[in-house]
Amino acid sequence: MRGWGGAAVVAASVIAATLAPAGSAAAVHGAVPGDFNGDGYRDLVLPVPGADIGPYDKAGAVVVVYGSANGVSTTSRRQTITEDSPGIPGHLFEGDRFGTTTATADLNRDGYADLVVGSPYSIADRQVTVLWGSGSGLAKGTRLPQQLHQGDNGLDVAATSLGTGSKTKILIGGDVWTTVFKGPFATGGSYGSSVETRIDNAVGSVALGDFNRSGSPDQVAFGALRPELSGSPIMVNHGGTETWPEPLEQGNGLLAATGDVNGDGYADLVVGDPLEPVTPGVDGELGGRVLVYRGSARGINREQKPEVITQQTSGVPGTSEKGDAFGGGLAVADLNRDGAAEIVVGAPYESVGAAERAGTVTVVPGRRSGALGTGGYSFHQDTAGVPSGNEAGDFFGTTVAAGDLNRDGRPELTIGAAGENNGNGAVFVLPGGSSRPTGTGSRVFTLESLGMAQAEGWLGGKGLLRLL
């Protein structure tokens, strides 16, 4: 089985979330929280890449819902940004899908988070735009340069700021080139340097994480989707040079997230491999899997054997079944504030009761020692307090993210459902609890609640449909 099912909407999210007011994050397309106006509250990013803007079908938009002491709701202050907004470069074109990918970091280190937005399908220019934070929120934008004939530029974007100069990076994935831009960055559009690496027929997923605690982000990219594997080769490059090293010898996948799952101070690499194995027991697992590579003083080496997590792992709820797509959504964030980050896993194709492909989200707690899986718990749309209900083709868990939206020290969990409302999509925000997120008090965003036309807008993002 090479895909998750024909015409169904499929996506995945990669987030490396922290609780700092202007922390770093990376996403294939998901709702990435960041404090864009510097008020101490993280703001929710709701990409709508399928939004029709005037006469331009699927031109795309990004909606920012600004956080407050009350968190976020449909009545919160919000800002809708398109390529026709004041201060934003470019022009509206049909099919641009502005907002297909997003990433958040304080790129110019001014205390305001900035938002990186990809438009990889634009016929005109396939651009990546940086929207700069300010006291009034996202007020202006600049574009990152690209090579001619670069292909689908911006299939994924990652950004992080670990320090001045080259310790701040933007990593852009495409089907031909992977490009890293290094700081210092400025609101006028300048940057320190850039390096391009050619990877023909790449799936385009990228991530950043400091695996050896050097203070400089290491880069993760995926190669071409190979017919003999369930996913793509995983490449980790510690130097940022023009040539990627050989891929990791063990494991493959489609997307990655980074974070410290055992609290030892080193970022770990978590990889989602949601497709069915081509050779069972060799390249994947029934229903999908997640791979965990531990960071260390030596970083992550090619020969490293990952820890494998499936729905058959002890302590993980559910059962591995063909086509679940476990690992199709992915985030790493410390949800219980114990210093060891949780792994949040979407299985958007999992059936719940009689509702086929309704989707679930599983949280695997971080642990200082021992195997991961113990204490796992899950959410779906029939979980107490979560709005709506399980329906066939909702794909709950298409995207997952985390961030403290009301500054109470308890990060909210954000979950996208790409198939909700016949492909319009929906994003659910689950409040942070005393020891973990809870369905009680959850809120849901739909295109209707955002005042946008109901026309297959893919609220929350469409993600990896292009690969399936």
Triad 27, 238, 178: Cα angle to 5°: 50
At 346-400, the pLDDT tens digits run 999 999 999 999 999 999 999 999 999 999 999 999 999 999 899 999 999 988 9
Bridge partners (DSSP) of residue 401 are 414
Phi-psi region for residue 346, left (φ > 0), alpha (ψ -120 to 50) or beta?
A: beta
What is the three-class DSSP state of 232? strand
User: Rounded to whole angstroms, how far apart are CA atoms 436 and 430?
Assistant: 10
Instruction: Report the pLDDT value the prediction gives residue 2, as an integer from 0 to 100.
Output: 39
% of the chain with per-residue pLDDT over 70? 90
Which residues are 412's β-sheet partners? 403
- Whole-number Cα distances in Å, 358 to 183, 294, 352, 380: 42, 32, 6, 8
Query: Measuring CA to CA, which residue among 420, 428, 429 is closest to residue 458?
Result: 420
pLDDT, one tens digit per residue, over 123-142 is 766 789 999 999 999 989 99
- CB under 8 Å to 455, separation ≥6 — which residues? 50, 52, 424
End-to-end alpha carbon distance in the chain: 10
pLDDT of residue 253: 94
Measured CA to CA, the distance from residue 101 to residue 78 in angstroms comes to 19
CB 151 within 8 A of CB 120: no
- Percentage of the chain beyond pLDDT 90 is 73
pLDDT in tens, 212-255: 999 999 999 998 888 889 999 999 987 677 888 889 999 999 99
- pLDDT > 50? residue 21: no
CA distance linking residue 284 with residue 306, whole number of Å? 12
Q: What is the pLDDT of residue 456?
A: 83
- Domains (ranges, CATH) in the chain? 256-467 (2.130.10.130)
pLDDT, residue 122, reads 74
Tokens describing residue 152: 């689908």
Q: How far is CA 107 from CA 40, 181, 186, 213, in A?
A: 17, 11, 8, 20
**Residue 463 — very low, low, confident or very high, per pLDDT cuts 50/70/90?**
low
Phi, psi of 463 (to 5 degrees): 65, -120
Under the banding of pLDDT at 50, 70 and 90, the label for residue 1 is very low
Residue 298 confidence (pLDDT) above 70: yes
